[in-house]
Amino acid sequence: MEVGRPNRDRGAERAGSAESDASSELHGVDRLRAVVNRLRTPEIGCPWDLEQTPESLVPYLLEEAHEAAEAIRAGVDDSIRDELGDVLLNVLLQVRIAEEEGRFTLEAVAENTAAKVIRRHPHVWGDERGADRERIRQNWRRIKQEEDPERESSALRSLPSTLPALLRACRVGSDAARIGFDWPDASGPLEKVVEETEEIRAVLDEPTSSPVDRQRALHHEIGDLLLAVTSLARHGSVDPEAALSDAVVRFRARFEHVERVARDRDTRDLDVLEAAWQEAKRREAGRLPPP
């Protein structure tokens, strides 16, 4: 008799039972919870899922959130549904582990969130009906401060380090603007972009600096330039993360044309490649027919 075979057979029986429960008797979120519970059940679950911890799952949660954002921007419903489902799966895995450790339940998460949303919307559920947008923002900040009195009193919110840097920069700029520390219009940050660009040029033109010093200075000045660009985007009501993402998509589409030209002509001549790039831009703008 093969060692361990009876245990595997019993596990298969339980697995079949669990699958039947999850597939036939439950629906929607309840079914997905049952699926997650089975994945995390010793002997009949998935070895990979069983060895995961809240910390080990964080990269997957972030990845799925970014994929969901990309799907939403693309506007394809099937992709949005699938990616939001992956985010929900990661949330339920985190909650399942917390339940196993006796820390909290999905019901507690939902109740806490519902209570928080109601508390922060007195203009919907309370006595602030008819409040204007500024009053709503003031109430929101006041209520959040009351919820956590130890929260830093600085106007700058404590933002998670995992937040994309461009988004963090926009949030910091918005927070500073709340107390009046901001340019009156877009011309201010535009001038700042020009100023920071000139400072980068000065670093590159400095002949006496060591490679290490130059790299350190470039790191500093390019950071300042990117911060100024996010301020310019904010004044133009542009999401810099989405704008950069769209620019990358355009670059890839144009570069695919450049690659085809380089391959077809068997060349890396920069003038030829630049001409192909400009041709791709004109085609993108509708001034040339597709190939």
* Tokens (6 digits) for 219: 């790191």
Most confident of the ranges 40-44, 135-139, 174-178: 40-44
Question: What is the spatial distance between Cα 58 and Cα 94, in angstroms, rounded to a whole number?
Answer: 9
Mean pLDDT score across all residues of the chain: 88
Question: What is the spatial distance between Cα 87 and Cα 155, in angstroms, rounded to a whole number?
Answer: 31
| Position with higher pLDDT, 144 vs 89 | 89
Q: Which amino acid is at 172?
A: V
Q: Is the pLDDT of residue 7 over 80?
A: no
Report the sign of the C-alpha dihedral through residues 121, 124, 129, 130, in that order: positive
* Tokens (6 digits) for 35: 């699926």
Numbered ranges of CATH 1.10.287.1080 in the chain: 5-117, 152-238
**What's the distance, Cα to Cα, between the start and end of the chain in Å?**
67
- Long-range pairs, 135-140, Cβ under 8 A, ≥24: none
Write the pLDDT tens digit of every residue in 265-286.
999 999 999 999 999 999 988 8
Is CATH 1.10.287.1080 correct for 5-117? Answer: yes
Question: What is the spatial distance between Cα 44 and Cα 286, in angstroms, rounded to a whole number?
Answer: 57
Where would I find the H helices in 132-164?
133-147
Q: What counts of helices (H) and strands (E) characterise the chain?
A: 13, 0
What DSSP string describes 178-229? HTT-S-SSTHHHHHHHHHHHHHHHHHHH-SSS-HHHHHHHHHHHHHHHHHHH
pTM above 0.75, yes or no: no
Predicted confidence band of residue 148 (pLDDT cuts 50, 70, 90): confident
CA dihedral 144, 146, 151, 155 (to 10 degrees): 60
Total Cβ atoms within 10 A of residue 120: 19
Give residue 162's pLDDT: 81
Write the pLDDT tens digit of every residue in 75-104.
999 999 999 999 999 999 999 999 999 999
**3-state helix/strand/coil string of 34-64:** HHHHHHCCCCCCCHHHHCCCHHHHHHHHHHH
Q: Which amino acid is at 289?
A: P
CATH for 152-238, among 3.20.20.70, 3.40.50.2300, 1.10.3720.10, 1.10.287.1080?
A: 1.10.287.1080
